[in-house]
């Protein structure tokens, strides 16, 4: 019980004061069999929804403006290997470039997630149970409007996370199977003939709650030029 309450306290500190959002694309598996260095039974298909908003400083011509974006994506993913997931998704987005009016557009995304390490912590600490390492990359295509002119861009993102996992199975005070706290670097590059990002390197941190062996949701922050908030719901079949 002590470690559960400590986890909840850390999560409260992590999410206090967050003002905007961005999306984390896929669930990191809670099963050892889905990892390159792990043992157990793997899944083959997954699906879910993720979304939120983000804020980036971009250059348009000689001007530097703030790009505010919101999106919601529905995705499906397939395991090419138990430890390698490929996903594709489609949804809607809303973008505001500086003082230009907001514009809505379709957004398509694809990417992969590599489950690298699932390591049992033999000497239990405050966050006992497991240590995990995941890496991934995503591609997105969308467009916005700059004073009546359509601006298209592609966004390439790569990230790596280290997660500390607390298994809560059997805890009478908390029902989910596991809680994972993750942190890691993020690189994001926007390719466009019209806009250029100011800051490409950032970081992400958050929590993923595994409600069962098949269902999880995540909440987290993603920092570039300003703070962001990300979230998603994931189902593994």
**Other C-beta atoms lying within 10 Å of the C-beta of residue 27:** 24
CA distance 234 to 44: 14
Would you say 174 and 209 are in contact if contact means Cβ atoms under 8 Å apart?
no
- Domain count for the chain: 1
pLDDT at 121 over 90: no
- Joined together, the tokens standing for residue 19 give 């003002």
Using CB atoms within 10 A of its CB, is residue 50 exposed (0-12), middle (13-18) or buried (19+)?
buried
Q: What are phi and psi of 34, to 5 degrees?
A: -90, 10
Would you say 180 and 220 are in contact if contact means Cβ atoms under 8 Å apart?
no
CA distance 98 to 33: 47
Tens digit of each residue's pLDDT (9 = 90 or more) over 8-36: 444 444 444 333 334 455 555 656 556 56
pLDDT at 187: 95
pLDDT at 117: 87
CA distance 7 to 2: 9
**What is the pTM assigned to this prediction?**
0.79
The predicted model gives 60-76 an average pLDDT of 91
- 196: nearest Cα among 228, 225, 222: 225
pLDDT at 93: 95
pLDDT at 174: 60
**Other C-beta atoms lying within 10 Å of the C-beta of residue 70:** 19
pLDDT at 6 over 50: no
Query: What's the number of CA atoms in the CB half-sphere (13 Å) around residue 157?
Result: 25
Q: Quickly tell me which residue has 């998603």 as its tokens.
A: 232
DSSP at 158: E
Residue 135 domain boundaries? 2-236
In this predicted structure, which of 30-39, 41-50, 66-75, 87-96 has the lowest mean pLDDT? 30-39
Tens digit of each residue's pLDDT (9 = 90 or more) over 87-111: 999 999 999 999 888 899 999 999 9
pLDDT at 107: 96
CA distance 104 to 82: 37
pLDDT at 124: 55
- Residue 38, strand partner residues: none
Counted residue by residue, the chain has a size of 237
pLDDT at 23: 46
pLDDT at 171 over 70: no
pLDDT at 59: 92
More reliable by pLDDT, 149 or 41: 149
CA distance 16 to 6: 16
Query: What CATH number is attached to the domain comprising 84?
Result: 2.40.128
Start-to-end C-alpha separation, the chain: 31
Buried b (16+ CB within 10 A) or exposed e, 154-165: ebebebbbebbb
pLDDT at 22: 43
């Amino acid at each position: 019980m002590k470690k559960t309450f400590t986890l909840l306290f850390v999560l409260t500190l992590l999410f206090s004061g967050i003002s905007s959002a961005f999306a984390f694309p896929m669930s990191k598996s809670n099963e050892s069999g889905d990892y390159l260095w792990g043992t157990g039974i793997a899944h083959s298909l997954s699906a879910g929804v993720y979304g939120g908003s983000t804020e980036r400083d971009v250059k348009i011509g000689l001007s530097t403006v703030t790009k505010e974006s919101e999106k919601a994506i529905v995705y499906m993913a397939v395991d090419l290997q138990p430890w390698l997931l490929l996903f594709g998704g489609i949804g809607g987005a809303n973008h505001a470039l500086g003082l230009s009016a907001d514009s809505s557009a379709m957004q398509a995304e694809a990417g992969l997630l590599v489950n690298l390490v699932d390591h049992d912590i033999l000497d239990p600490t405050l966050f006992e149970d497991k240590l995990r390492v995941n890496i991934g990359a995503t591609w997105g295509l969308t467009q916005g409007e700059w004073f009546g002119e359509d601006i298209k861009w592609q966004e390439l993102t790569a990230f790596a996370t280290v997660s500390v996992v607390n298994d809560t199975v059997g805890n009478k005070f908390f029902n989910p199977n596991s809680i994972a706290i993750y942190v890691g670097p993020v690189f994001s590059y926007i390719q466009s003939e019209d806009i250029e990002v100011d800051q490409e390197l950032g970081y992400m941190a958050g929590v993923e709650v595994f409600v069962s062996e098949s269902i999880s949701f995540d909440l987290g922050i993603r920092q570039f030029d300003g703070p962001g908030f990300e979230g998603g719901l994931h189902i593994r079949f």
